[in-house]
Amino acid sequence: MTPHSNQASESASSSHSDHPLEPTLGHSPAEPPRGNLAGFSRYFKYDLVAGGLVFLIALPLCLGISLASGFPAIAGVFTAIVGSILTTFISNSELTIKGPAAGMIVIVLGAVTSFGYTGGVDPVADSRAYQMALAVGVVAGLCQVAFGMYRAGVLGDFFPTSAVHGMLAAIGLIIMVKQLPVAVGQSAKGEPLEIIRELPHLMMSANPQIAIIGGVSLFILFAMAFWKAHSKNRLVASLPAPLLVLLVAIPLGMALDLTHEHTYTMFDHEYAMGEQFLVSVPYNLLGAMAHPDFTVFMDPVLLPTALKWVVMFALIGSLESLLSAKAVDMLDPYRRKTNLNRDLVAVGFANLVVSFIGGLPMISEIVRSKANIDNQAKTRFADMWHGLFLLGFVAFLPALIHRIPLASLAAMLVFTGFRLASPSEFLHVYRVGKEQLVIFVTTIVAVLATDLLIGIGIGIATKFAIHCYNGVSPRSWFVPDLDIHQDSPDHVSVRASQSAVFSNWISFRRQLVNASLTHGMNCTLDFTNTHLVDHSVMENLHELQDEFHRGGLKLDVIGLENHKSLSDHPMATRKLAESLI
């Protein structure tokens, strides 16, 4: 969730009612729009318009994300084109937009850097590192296909919400510190904490004219976000801020004559200007394609590194994609549900294909998906149209892309990073519970100090430690204690003992669904004797109630009145009152 995922969960959470487990459900039509042949023709106008508007947002983000990842700019466009067309016909996710995402920047850049990427100092080494990262993408895509085929989509429910949000917030911080120097005409290398130490010096050494482009772009992005949040005007809400940035930044770049090498003097210092501050794109798409270098898996020195990045690409990419798809389902006005395993197969297959031609890894992307919904998309063909618009633009107007200043793309990524790690996200997590804030902040610090995989592992370990402190028995960490009884031909009662926590939710949900929803029965879930129900389970129960509702059934949750909420938030952790210290 893309979400992206922080924003996704906030958007989804904003629809929760005051009662902790009473979902606010819309009234869906008897036959919601579907991405079949009939849906293609019936909703053609809606999907075409939505796809066109999403394309305007996607183009600069695809270019910026690709450059920030150490790939050529065109690689991100390849990803959006291939992903949007292939997944439209494989996945059943009706409103998600597939493409490169800011959340994968840190992983991809880490991979190319470990393979010898020099940031332009040695083009030959950069090309080889790029092709090795493509080989990692192919194998990771195969892993994602296998995940989907073996029904691993359920693993998206395992990771605790606060740890995932902490990981995404850390990614946001890393993006900001790496892209802020680019927005002012500088570049930064090294680990995040090293760049943070160097940031004051880098900002003081800014190229003033490039900084004007970056600063104006940032101002537009933040001003538009504020305006949209406080304006009820539908026209304002529909204006794509990235497009406005380009409409201002391109003329600024032309006024500063960035297409020609020259220098200027300011503050007794001479600054160089030229095409190095513009996006570099090929004029021949076929010639721009690159192919994976599988020798990375044959070199005994590089093999362990390559396998590490396969795990990172496949695991983090799958997790982000699953969370985003779930979040978009909650925003879908027709309450359609994505088959997460099928969607994972679609994303994995598209990643495999696009890695063979030089593209970035893709996920279900929450910001563009939200824009897709806001622009009245009806079926998955809107995703396809957005990809076809991208294909037409880069095929026929590459010279216009070359006019885009890099500083404006960096500003968009700084803004994206800020949204992932915004102060409001810290406040939101704090409102859910102080223990959630501890997990959230611990994960952020751990990711910044180590890497994504170790960081989220430390976040999960922190969650377990807090559960131990709250009296959760280790034997109930992974195995729920459920007593299931069929009361009547159409009703099942489930009594939960011990604890209901994130790590036993997969088994918890499977047993409950197999006993009731699968057989078309209503269900009453009793938590009277449950020691602790954690925040992740509270959120998952909300989604499960929604799933019962779509199936014409009811899931009643009782017994929480005897529990103490650890905060005033409706999704806060609940602990049995008599067990409180």
Whether residue 60 is predicted with pLDDT greater than 50 in this model: the reply is yes
Q: Where are the domains of the chain?
A: 5-12+42-188+256-407, 474-579
Q: Is the dihedral of CA 363, 2, 161, 559 positive or negative?
A: negative
Contacts of 357 (CB under 8 A, 6+ apart): 78, 82, 289, 290, 291
Instruction: Quick: pLDDT tens for 326-352.
Output: 888 878 888 888 999 999 999 999 999
pLDDT at 453: 82
pLDDT at 8: 37
The answer, yes or no, to whether residue 3 has pLDDT greater than 60, is: no
Query: pTM (2 decimals)?
Result: 0.85
The answer to whether residues 361 and 313 touch, using CB atoms and an 8 Å cutoff, is yes
Give the Cα separation of 298 and 458 in Å (integer). Answer: 32
- pLDDT single digits (tens) 90-123: 999 999 999 999 889 999 999 999 999 998 889 9
What pLDDT does 74 receive?
95
Query: Could you tell me what percent of the chain has a pLDDT over 70?
Result: 94
Q: pLDDT averaged over the chain?
A: 89
Structure tokens at 434: 């102080």
- Give dist(CA 465, CA 468) in Å, integer: 5
pLDDT of residue 281: 85
pLDDT of 7 higher than 50: no
The tens digit of pLDDT for each residue in 536-581 reads 999 999 889 988 988 899 999 999 988 999 999 999 999 997 654 3
Whether the per-residue pLDDT at 22 is higher than 50: the answer is no
pLDDT tier for residue 180 given thresholds of 50, 70 and 90: very high
Type of residue at 116: G
**Amino acid 20: pLDDT:** 41
Note the pLDDT of residue 578. 65
pLDDT tens track for 364-402: 988 899 889 988 999 999 999 999 999 999 988 888 999
Q: Cα(18)–Cα(20) distance, rounded to whole angstroms?
A: 6
**What SS3 string covers 403-423?**
CCEHHHHHHHHHHHHHHHCCH
Tokens of 534: 């954690």
SS3 50: helix
Question: What CATH class has 474-579?
Answer: alpha beta
496-510: pLDDT as tens digits = 999 999 999 999 999
Confidence of residue 166 (pLDDT cuts 50, 70, 90): very high
Query: Could you tell me the CA-to-CA distances from 445 to 103, 168, 442, 449, 455 in Å, in that order?
Result: 17, 12, 5, 6, 8
- Calculate helix-pair angle for 161-183, 303-331, nearest 10 degrees: 110
Q: What pLDDT, on a 0 to 100 scale, did the predictor assign at position 577?
A: 78
